[in-house]
Amino acid sequence: MGAPLNERSQNILEAIIEDYIHTAEPVGSRAITTRHAFHLSPATVRNVMADLEDMGFLASPHTSAGRIPTEKGYQYYVESLLQIRDLSEEFRSCIDDDTRFAGKCMEDVMQEVGNLLSGISSYTGLVMAPRFNSTIFRQIEFVRLSQGRLLVIFVSESGLVQNKVIEPGIDFSARELESITNYLNHRLPGMTITQVRERIAFELREEKTRLNKIQKQAFELSDKALQGDIAEQVYVAGTSRMLEQPDFASHDSMMRIMRTLESKQQLIELLDSSQSASGVQIFIGSQASDSKIEGCSLITAPFSGQNGAVGTLGVIGPVRMNYSQVIPIVDFTASLVGRLLDRES
């Protein structure tokens, strides 16, 4: 059981998995001997396959079909057998094409990155934009709109802009607003938005007495402006690519997957765990999620600029996924997006 695989078994397992990734059909012993130049007869291969099945790397749908890899098989393949090739020059240049992102706002860039991931991998692309709450505060500005309404603008260290309309109740003069702005821009930079909120709450609660009027108003305004959570932005691209996969031919599995891909919330949960990791992460089948996306694997990578804004992107596809191609794509794209973020700020 726990015995390590000898080289021949490894080669055969690799051949089976790669054939299956390619054809989506159970692989038989004869197919292996003809498609690969092992100097072995089908019978020998059969013996090896039987062993691999005993060890849990392969399974047979029924007696007279070939073998298909199990999740454990894929996991072993990805960890031990797969050598990750460098991304082909063709793809490299296709991804790193400046014209694609030229002159687009953050949202459009994120969407375009999703399209890119989906287009090149031919699976479904996911991008979770940097969460605003974890970005670093740089600047706040107030713009007076009509009838005592104020537009509040936050700018993060990474150049993200977030705005919100509030109705403070008091009609501030331009001078007052300027003082408030100056005060806040003096005190708050360098903290994450979450920290800023905590600080505001702290100041308002504990040290009320110590503050002068402008200071108090400043904190009250910014408190109001930061109320309410800013939802994560998730971008999905190429969901119809899922329908192309023979693995999801059944109506049922299709529905389950499309429903999940529609739910931003569920996607956030999927991507969230990879947020803090570094480098490419691979979730195969049940590793990815508790049956919400049965039969799917997920390849993710966090991206970040030099200034701390952090997001996650990835590709989701069937467990029978072309890992050797997708992994470098996700890796390279994440680093590209990191560079894009730096450019923006």
Partner DNA sequence: ATTAGCACTCAACGCGAGTGAGTGCTAATG
Partner DNA sequence: CATTAGCACTCACTCGCGTTGAGTGCTAAT
Q: Interface residues with DNA (CB under 7 A)? A: 8, 26-31, 39-44, 46-47, 49-50, 53, 60-67
Does residue 171 belong to the site contacting a second copy (CB under 8 A)?
A: no
What mask, x for binding a second copy by CB under 8 A, covers residues 108 to 127? x-------------------
Question: Could you please report the per-residue DSSP string of 33-73?
Answer: HHHS--S--HHHHHHHHHHHHHTTSEE-SSTTS-BEE-HHH
- The three-class DSSP label of residue 322 is coil
- Residue 321 CA to residue 330 CA, distance in Å, equals 13
Q: Which is nearer to DNA, 31 or 127 (CB)?
A: 31
Backbone angles phi, psi at 317, to 5 degrees: -160, -175
Give counts: helices (H), strands (E), the chain: 14, 10
Residues 235-254 that bind a second copy (CB under 8 A): 237-240, 243-244, 249, 251, 254
DSSP E strands: which ranges in 279-318?
Answer: 281-283, 296-304, 310-318
Does residue 43 belong to the site contacting a second copy (CB under 8 A)?
A: no
Does residue 269 belong to the site contacting a second copy (CB under 8 A)?
A: no
Q: Which is nearer to DNA, 41 or 93 (CB)?
A: 41
- Residue 325 CA to residue 280 CA, distance in Å, equals 13
Q: What is the smallest separation between the CB atom of 229 and a second copy, expressed in angstroms?
A: 10
Categorise residue 11: left if φ over 0, alpha if ψ from -120 to 50, beta otherwise: alpha
Quote the longest CA-to-CA distance of the chain.
89
Q: What is the smallest separation between the CB atom of 255 and a second copy, expressed in angstroms?
A: 5
With CB cut-offs between 5 and 8 Å by kind, which of DNA, a second copy, none does residue 41 bind?
DNA
Q: What is the smallest separation between the CB atom of 14 and DNA, expressed in angstroms?
A: 16
Q: Which is nearer to DNA, 59 or 151 (CB)?
A: 59
Does residue 138 belong to the site contacting a second copy (CB under 8 A)?
A: yes
> Considering CB under 8 A, how many residues would be counted as binding a second copy?
32
Return the ∠ at Cα 144 (arms to 143 and 145), rounded to 5°: 115
- Residue 126 CA to residue 298 CA, distance in Å, equals 10
Return the ∠ at Cα 337 (arms to 108 and 232), rounded to 5°: 60
Q: What is the smallest separation between the CB atom of 259 and a second copy, expressed in angstroms?
A: 5
Q: What is the smallest separation between the CB atom of 154 and a second copy, expressed in angstroms?
A: 11
> Where would I find the H helices in 55-121?
71-76, 89-95, 98-101, 106-121
- Residue 335 CA to residue 280 CA, distance in Å, equals 11
Does residue 169 belong to the site contacting a second copy (CB under 8 A)?
A: no
Which listed residue (228, 276, 278, 290) binds a second copy by CB under 8 A?
A: 228
Q: What is the smallest separation between the CB atom of 11 and DNA, expressed in angstroms?
A: 12
Does residue 340 belong to the site contacting a second copy (CB under 8 A)?
A: no
- CB-based contact 206:147 (threshold 8 Å): no
- CB-based contact 267:126 (threshold 8 Å): yes
With CB cut-offs between 5 and 8 Å by kind, which of DNA, a second copy, none does residue 50 bind?
DNA
With CB cut-offs between 5 and 8 Å by kind, which of DNA, a second copy, none does residue 60 bind?
DNA
With CB cut-offs between 5 and 8 Å by kind, which of DNA, a second copy, none does residue 44 bind?
DNA
* Residues of the shown chain interacting with a second copy in the complex, contacts defined by CB under 8 A: 103, 105, 108, 138-139, 141, 143, 145-146, 151, 153, 155, 159, 161, 163-165, 228, 231, 237-240, 243-244, 249, 251, 254-255, 258-259, 262
